[in-house]
Amino acid sequence: MLPLRPLAATIAGTAATLSLSLSLSLSLAPPPAAAAEPFLYIGYCPSWNPAAIEATDFSPYTHVNIAFAIPQADGSLVLENEGQLGALAARIRAQGAKALVAVGGYTGSAAFGCAAADAGRAAALSAAIVGFVGRHGLDGVDIDWEYPAGAGDVANLVTFLATLRGAFDAGGSGGGGGSSSSSSSDDMNRNADDDDGVFKRRGSKRRGNRKRGGEQDRKIISMAVPAMPYPGLTPQQARDMSALVDYISLMQYDINGPWAGETGPNAPFDFEAGRGLQVSFRSSIEAWRALGWPAERMVAGLAFYGRAARALRDMNAGTRGDAAGNTTAAGDDAAAEGTGNPGAQYAAQSAERVVGDRDDACCATGTWKWKWLRQDILTGGVEAPAAPWVRHWDGVSQTPWLFNSETMVYITYEDPASIARKARHAYEEGLRGVMAWSLEMEWDNELVSAAKELC
């Protein structure tokens, strides 16, 4: 037997050994992995509809883009109901989201090309945006130029974004006014870091934070872009732009619609070969990544609405449905994982303009907001339409659709199952988040709740 050491000596020796081991362990251990960036939930809010805005719940979102401030020929900006903007921004912030102004839009982008083509006008528009953001205490701007017309416009857009970024940075604390902590990548949102562990999903391509120098006080610059990259956009331009903006939002909807000769999904997850426009949620992400745009600076687009058209044949004929009106093909499940009936939602359609929901009587655009689909058609639940409507599921596009054999009206739309599928894909591919057009179309937070089911 070995002689026993005195207790004090043993303790001292053990402590020294532990200290040395701990020092070696700490020095040899790899650095801790960077925390995953919070997944963003972004929504557009229409300034022209105060009543709808008043009823909107902003709490599920991390960022709200108030649409639209319209660039003018003289470089100024005009926003409908601008006098209410300060109160709206304060309410958005009080519910835990950041407030940005969206500039441009489909009918408000006419002045972009002229402004971006001239250094003086680009500087004037940049100054107007910086002043607008500061004056109303906003967290940044979403540039929504629809659309650069060619290679010249794309090159001018890169230059304009550099001018805008410089104007914000020159203003101190990101351009004057507003919150001084508006735009760090770590603090992109207070609502983003839920405690449900969804940001630790195994198998995803989530990345750690990649904060740029001096980013803590920078205003956010985001950009809405078409589903497929601008014609003429080069990989170098994509890299240059991605360094100037915090993220882009892909408008992955309005892919098929009543303007085409055939019915088809408004926002397909995948497209069916040879049917409809050969663009989809998945191919959109792949196309932007192929140009070198980083996934962590991309936000995927979701549609909180559908579109109606009048078909020239009975699209319920030849399909089989269950009691809830779900299309079922032999051996298929009607849920999101099923394949449905390939090709069933494609049919020749009339050029006639069809009135959509109760808000569309004035315009006959065929638009159906989710809230009116739920209240006027899907009255028995998200998969239970009122007769004579029949619900179908397309397993290729991963979207639902409705058909009324009495009126021959077809509706393509998104529901919680299709929204969840897209959000999960965006998360697993390492994208920065998802974006919705638009928040006043929601019903009881059903769609955004589905988008948050990432596990």
Q: Give the pLDDT confidence score for residue 212 in this predicted structure.
A: 45
Say yes or no: 139 and 203 in one domain: yes
Supply the pLDDT for residue 16: 42
Both 44 and 182 in one domain: the answer is: yes
pLDDT in tens, 197-206: 333 333 456 5
pLDDT number for residue 204: 53
pLDDT given at position 88: 96
* Residue 181 pLDDT exceeds 70: no
To which residue do tokens 């179908």 refer? 392
- Please say whether the beta carbons of 351 and 281 come within 8 A: no
State what percent of residues in the chain have pLDDT above 90.
Answer: 72
CATH of the domain at 396: 3.10.50.10
Q: Is residue 159 part of a domain?
A: yes
Residue 124 falls within a domain, yes or no?
Answer: yes
Q: Examine the domain organization and report whether 91 and 179 are in the same domain.
A: yes
**Binning pLDDT at 50, 70 and 90, where does residue 207 land?**
low
Q: What's the whole-number mean pLDDT along residues 40-48?
A: 97
12 domain residue, yes or no: no
What is the rounded average pLDDT of the residues 320-338? 43
Query: Of 52-56, 72-76, 409-413, where does mean pLDDT reach its minimum?
Result: 72-76
| Pair 237, 94 in one domain | yes
Mean pLDDT of 282-310: 99
- The confidence band for 196, taking pLDDT boundaries of 50, 70 and 90, is very low
Q: What is the pLDDT of residue 10?
A: 35
Residues 79, 184: one domain?
A: yes
**Which pLDDT band holds residue 454 (cuts at 50, 70, 90)?**
confident
On the question of pLDDT at 21 being above 70, the answer is no
User: 316 and 386 in one domain?
Assistant: yes
Confidence check: pLDDT of 416 > 80: yes
CATH number at residue 161: 3.20.20.80
Q: 75 falls in which pLDDT band (50, 70, 90)? A: confident
**Residue pair 412/263 in contact by the 8 Å Cβ criterion:** yes
Whether 256 maps to a domain, the answer reads no
Tell me how far apart the alpha carbons of residues 257 and 338 are, in angstroms, rounded to a whole number.
24
Mean pLDDT on 134-139:
96
356 and 242 assigned to the same domain: no
* Residue-level pLDDT at 73: 85
The separation between CA 22 and the C-alpha centre of its own chain, rounded to angstroms, equals: 46
- The answer to whether residue 20 is domain-embedded is no
DSSP 230: P
pLDDT averaged over every residue in the chain:
84
**Given pLDDT bands bounded at 50, 70 and 90, which one contains residue 340?**
low
401 located within any domain:
yes
Q: Which range has the worst mean pLDDT, 153-167, 176-190, 242-256, 435-449? A: 176-190
443 and 377 in a common domain: no
DSSP of 232-266: T--HHHHHHHHHHSSEEEEE---SS-TTSSB---S
**What average pLDDT does the segment 91-100 reach?**
98
Once rounded to an integer, what is the mean pLDDT over residues 65-76? Answer: 93
Residue 5 predicted with pLDDT over 70: no
Tell me, what's the pLDDT at 35?
55
The dihedral over CA atoms of 266, 267, 272, 276, expressed in degrees to the nearest 10, equals: 30
Q: Is the pLDDT of residue 301 over 80?
A: yes
Domain that holds residue 100: 40-251+294-303+416-451
**Exposure of 324 by Cβ count < 10 A (0-12 exposed, 13-18 middle, 19+ buried)?**
middle
Asked whether the predicted pLDDT for residue 453 surpasses 90, the reply is yes
pLDDT in tens, 343-385: 799 999 999 999 999 999 999 999 999 999 999 999 999 999 9
Is position 23 within any domain?
no
- Residues 132, 77 contacting (CB under 8 angstroms): yes
Q: Is 374 helix (H, G, I), strand (E, B) or coil?
A: helix
Are residues 432 and 349 located together in one domain of the fold? Answer: no
Lowest mean pLDDT among 23-37, 250-264, 303-317: 23-37
Whether residue 119 is found in the same domain as residue 199: yes
Residue 341 and residue 192 share a domain: no
Quick check: is 101 in a domain? yes
269 within 8 A of 397, measured Cβ to Cβ: yes
Assign 300 a pLDDT band (cuts: 50, 70, 90): very high
pLDDT at 374: 99
Q: What integer pLDDT is reported at residue 172 of this predicted model?
A: 55
pLDDT (0 to 100) of residue 185: 38
Flag whether pLDDT at 117 surpasses 70. Answer: yes
| pTM exceeding the 0.85 threshold for the entire prediction | no
Question: Across residues 259-278, what is the average pLDDT?
Answer: 98
Domain count, the chain: 2
Residues 425 and 399 both lie in one domain: no
Angle between helix 281-290 and helix 416-428 axes, rounded to 10 deg = 20
